[in-house]
Amino acid sequence: MFNKLESLLAKTDIILSPEQKQQLVAYVDMLNKWNKAYNLTSVRDPEQMLIRHVMDSIVVNPFLQGTRFIDVGTGPGLPGIPLAIVRPDSHFTLLDSLGKRVRFLRQVQHELGLTNIEPVQSRVEEFTPEVLFDGVISRAFASLQDMLSWCHHLPNATNGRFYALKGLLPEEELTQLPSGVSLDAVIPLQVPEQEGQRHLVILK
Protein backbone atom coordinates (compact mmCIF):
# COMPACT_ATOMS: atom_id res chain seq x y z
CA MET A 1 0.00 0.00 0.00
CA PHE A 2 2.88 2.33 0.81
CA ASN A 3 4.38 1.69 -2.64
CA LYS A 4 1.01 2.29 -4.29
CA LEU A 5 0.69 5.62 -2.48
CA GLU A 6 4.21 6.60 -3.55
CA SER A 7 3.41 5.80 -7.19
CA LEU A 8 0.23 7.93 -7.02
CA LEU A 9 2.05 10.85 -5.38
CA ALA A 10 4.76 10.66 -8.05
CA LYS A 11 2.10 11.67 -10.60
CA THR A 12 1.40 14.90 -8.68
CA ASP A 13 3.36 17.85 -7.24
CA ILE A 14 2.52 16.75 -3.67
CA ILE A 15 5.57 16.29 -1.41
CA LEU A 16 4.98 14.39 1.86
CA SER A 17 7.24 13.13 4.62
CA PRO A 18 7.62 9.38 5.22
CA GLU A 19 5.60 9.81 8.43
CA GLN A 20 2.72 11.50 6.56
CA LYS A 21 2.67 8.71 3.98
CA GLN A 22 2.65 6.13 6.77
CA GLN A 23 -0.30 7.90 8.45
CA LEU A 24 -2.28 7.97 5.19
CA VAL A 25 -1.70 4.23 4.65
CA ALA A 26 -2.59 3.50 8.30
CA TYR A 27 -5.82 5.48 7.84
CA VAL A 28 -6.77 3.37 4.81
CA ASP A 29 -5.95 0.21 6.77
CA MET A 30 -8.29 1.33 9.56
CA LEU A 31 -11.00 2.37 7.12
CA ASN A 32 -10.80 -1.02 5.41
CA LYS A 33 -10.92 -2.90 8.73
CA TRP A 34 -13.80 -0.92 10.24
CA ASN A 35 -15.72 -0.85 6.97
CA LYS A 36 -16.45 -4.56 7.23
CA ALA A 37 -18.52 -4.01 10.39
CA TYR A 38 -19.59 -0.36 10.15
CA ASN A 39 -20.17 0.08 6.41
CA LEU A 40 -18.42 3.47 6.32
CA THR A 41 -17.84 3.61 2.56
CA SER A 42 -19.10 1.83 -0.54
CA VAL A 43 -15.49 1.52 -1.75
CA ARG A 44 -14.30 -1.95 -0.70
CA ASP A 45 -10.83 -2.21 -2.22
CA PRO A 46 -8.02 -0.54 -0.20
CA GLU A 47 -6.14 0.54 -3.36
CA GLN A 48 -9.31 2.21 -4.61
CA MET A 49 -9.65 3.88 -1.21
CA LEU A 50 -6.18 5.37 -1.75
CA ILE A 51 -7.24 6.79 -5.11
CA ARG A 52 -10.88 7.74 -4.56
CA HIS A 53 -10.65 8.85 -0.93
CA VAL A 54 -7.08 9.81 0.02
CA MET A 55 -5.75 11.27 -3.24
CA ASP A 56 -9.15 12.80 -4.03
CA SER A 57 -8.93 14.64 -0.69
CA ILE A 58 -5.33 15.84 -0.62
CA VAL A 59 -5.26 17.34 -4.13
CA VAL A 60 -7.46 20.08 -2.64
CA ASN A 61 -4.80 21.17 -0.12
CA PRO A 62 -2.96 23.85 -2.19
CA PHE A 63 -6.20 25.79 -2.67
CA LEU A 64 -7.22 26.09 0.99
CA GLN A 65 -6.68 29.45 2.68
CA GLY A 66 -6.43 29.79 6.45
CA THR A 67 -5.80 27.45 9.37
CA ARG A 68 -9.25 26.65 10.85
CA PHE A 69 -11.51 24.38 8.84
CA ILE A 70 -14.69 22.38 9.34
CA ASP A 71 -15.44 19.28 7.28
CA VAL A 72 -19.23 19.07 7.22
CA GLY A 73 -20.81 15.63 6.74
CA THR A 74 -17.33 14.16 7.03
CA GLY A 75 -18.53 10.54 7.08
CA PRO A 76 -15.44 8.42 7.81
CA GLY A 77 -13.28 11.58 7.75
CA LEU A 78 -13.26 12.64 4.11
CA PRO A 79 -11.69 14.89 3.10
CA GLY A 80 -10.84 16.06 6.64
CA ILE A 81 -8.49 13.35 7.89
CA PRO A 82 -6.23 13.15 4.80
CA LEU A 83 -6.11 16.97 4.75
CA ALA A 84 -5.27 17.10 8.47
CA ILE A 85 -2.38 14.67 7.85
CA VAL A 86 -0.89 16.70 4.98
CA ARG A 87 -1.66 20.06 6.66
CA PRO A 88 -0.45 19.58 10.27
CA ASP A 89 -0.43 23.32 11.08
CA SER A 90 -4.17 23.63 10.39
CA HIS A 91 -7.03 22.49 12.63
CA PHE A 92 -9.99 20.48 11.33
CA THR A 93 -13.35 20.04 13.02
CA LEU A 94 -14.92 16.83 11.64
CA LEU A 95 -18.69 17.04 11.86
CA ASP A 96 -21.06 14.13 11.38
CA SER A 97 -24.47 13.28 12.83
CA LEU A 98 -23.92 9.50 12.97
CA GLY A 99 -22.43 8.04 16.14
CA LYS A 100 -20.66 5.08 14.52
CA ARG A 101 -18.75 7.40 12.17
CA VAL A 102 -17.70 9.68 15.01
CA ARG A 103 -16.52 6.64 17.02
CA PHE A 104 -14.37 5.64 14.05
CA LEU A 105 -12.96 9.18 13.78
CA ARG A 106 -12.02 9.17 17.47
CA GLN A 107 -10.27 5.82 17.03
CA VAL A 108 -8.33 7.21 14.04
CA GLN A 109 -7.42 10.28 16.11
CA HIS A 110 -6.14 8.02 18.89
CA GLU A 111 -4.25 5.48 16.77
CA LEU A 112 -2.62 8.00 14.41
CA GLY A 113 -1.91 10.56 17.12
CA LEU A 114 -3.67 13.36 15.24
CA THR A 115 -3.75 16.39 17.54
CA ASN A 116 -5.18 18.76 14.90
CA ILE A 117 -8.62 17.17 14.45
CA GLU A 118 -11.75 17.36 16.58
CA PRO A 119 -14.52 14.86 15.80
CA VAL A 120 -17.96 16.22 16.69
CA GLN A 121 -21.30 14.41 16.56
CA SER A 122 -23.97 16.93 15.56
CA ARG A 123 -26.32 17.93 12.81
CA VAL A 124 -24.77 20.88 11.03
CA GLU A 125 -27.74 23.21 11.53
CA GLU A 126 -27.56 22.60 15.30
CA PHE A 127 -23.80 23.07 15.61
CA THR A 128 -22.61 26.38 17.08
CA PRO A 129 -18.85 26.85 16.96
CA GLU A 130 -17.01 28.89 19.59
CA VAL A 131 -14.79 30.39 16.88
CA LEU A 132 -15.86 30.74 13.24
CA PHE A 133 -13.93 28.99 10.47
CA ASP A 134 -11.65 30.12 7.65
CA GLY A 135 -13.07 27.36 5.49
CA VAL A 136 -16.17 25.16 5.36
CA ILE A 137 -15.30 22.03 3.37
CA SER A 138 -17.62 19.32 2.11
CA ARG A 139 -17.97 16.67 -0.49
CA ALA A 140 -21.19 15.35 1.02
CA PHE A 141 -23.85 17.84 -0.03
CA ALA A 142 -26.21 17.23 -2.93
CA SER A 143 -26.17 20.88 -3.99
CA LEU A 144 -24.35 24.13 -3.33
CA GLN A 145 -27.68 25.58 -2.23
CA ASP A 146 -28.00 22.95 0.53
CA MET A 147 -24.45 23.58 1.66
CA LEU A 148 -25.00 27.34 1.86
CA SER A 149 -28.37 27.15 3.61
CA TRP A 150 -27.18 24.68 6.28
CA CYS A 151 -23.65 26.05 6.79
CA HIS A 152 -24.12 29.81 6.40
CA HIS A 153 -23.41 30.37 10.13
CA LEU A 154 -19.98 28.65 10.09
CA PRO A 155 -17.45 30.77 8.11
CA ASN A 156 -15.98 33.96 9.52
CA ALA A 157 -17.22 37.17 7.94
CA THR A 158 -13.90 38.64 6.85
CA ASN A 159 -12.27 35.88 4.80
CA GLY A 160 -14.33 32.72 5.31
CA ARG A 161 -14.90 30.52 2.27
CA PHE A 162 -16.93 27.50 1.25
CA TYR A 163 -15.02 24.68 -0.47
CA ALA A 164 -17.29 22.22 -2.27
CA LEU A 165 -15.75 19.08 -3.78
CA LYS A 166 -17.72 18.15 -6.86
CA GLY A 167 -17.58 15.73 -9.75
CA LEU A 168 -19.05 17.38 -12.84
CA LEU A 169 -19.13 21.17 -12.69
CA PRO A 170 -22.57 22.18 -11.31
CA GLU A 171 -23.08 25.03 -13.78
CA GLU A 172 -26.80 25.45 -13.11
CA GLU A 173 -26.22 25.64 -9.35
CA LEU A 174 -23.60 28.33 -9.90
CA THR A 175 -26.16 30.53 -11.65
CA GLN A 176 -28.48 30.34 -8.62
CA LEU A 177 -26.22 31.48 -5.77
CA PRO A 178 -28.04 33.48 -3.07
CA SER A 179 -27.31 37.15 -2.57
CA GLY A 180 -24.24 37.79 -0.45
CA VAL A 181 -22.42 34.76 -1.88
CA SER A 182 -20.07 35.05 -4.84
CA LEU A 183 -18.03 32.56 -6.84
CA ASP A 184 -14.36 32.86 -5.93
CA ALA A 185 -12.93 30.12 -8.15
CA VAL A 186 -13.62 26.86 -9.95
CA ILE A 187 -10.59 24.58 -10.05
CA PRO A 188 -10.45 21.39 -12.13
CA LEU A 189 -8.73 18.73 -10.00
CA GLN A 190 -6.36 16.10 -11.33
CA VAL A 191 -6.58 12.88 -9.32
CA PRO A 192 -4.19 10.16 -10.55
CA GLU A 193 -5.94 7.00 -11.82
CA GLN A 194 -9.39 8.45 -11.05
CA GLU A 195 -11.90 8.35 -13.87
CA GLY A 196 -14.40 11.15 -14.39
CA GLN A 197 -14.16 14.86 -13.72
CA ARG A 198 -13.41 16.40 -10.32
CA HIS A 199 -13.83 20.07 -9.45
CA LEU A 200 -13.31 22.28 -6.43
CA VAL A 201 -15.85 25.12 -6.20
CA ILE A 202 -14.79 27.97 -3.91
CA LEU A 203 -17.46 30.42 -2.76
CA LYS A 204 -17.12 33.48 -0.53
78 annotated among ligand-binding-site residues: yes
* DSSP-based helix, strand, coil % in the chain, nearest 5: 40, 20, 40
Asked whether the beta carbons of 107 and 85 are under 8 A apart, the reply is no
28 annotated among ligand-binding-site residues: no
66 annotated among ligand-binding-site residues: no
Strand 183-188 to 199-203 pairing:
antiparallel
Q: Please name which of 68, 79, 69, 52 lies closest in space to residue 140, comparing C-alpha atoms.
A: 79
124 annotated among ligand-binding-site residues: yes
Please state, in angstroms and rounded to a whole number, the distance separating the CA atoms of residues 44 and 88.
Answer: 28
144 annotated among ligand-binding-site residues: no
Main-chain dihedrals φ then ψ at residue 176, nearest 5 degrees:
-120, 30
Residues within the annotated binding site for S-adenosyl-L-methionine? Answer: 73, 78, 124-125, 139
Residues within the annotated binding site? Answer: 73, 78, 124-125, 139
